[in-house]
Amino acid sequence: MSRCAMIAPEMLDTSRDHAPAPTEEPRGCLFALSQPPLMIFLAVIGCLLLMAAVHDLFLL
């Protein structure tokens, strides 16, 4: 049986000595929407779209 000179036996060992650390808390898809800067940004964009729609409907 021939061995590759580049791979040491330690590199072939894939067993884990300990379990991976658990995450603090699971975060869902809506986690980013609870962040204040994103909500402020979305509110500003929403107001701009609303103002443009009102302008188009009533002033043009």
Mean pLDDT per segment of 10 residues, for the chain of length 60 residues?
Answer: 59 64 69 83 97 92
Residue 59: per-residue pLDDT? 85
Residue 23: per-residue pLDDT? 64
Whether residue 33 contacts residue 39, with contact meaning beta carbons closer than 8 Å, is answered with yes
Residue 40: per-residue pLDDT? 93
**Cα(54)–Cα(60) distance, integer angstroms:** 9
Residue 11: per-residue pLDDT? 62
Eight-state DSSP code of residue 55: I
Residue 57: per-residue pLDDT? 94
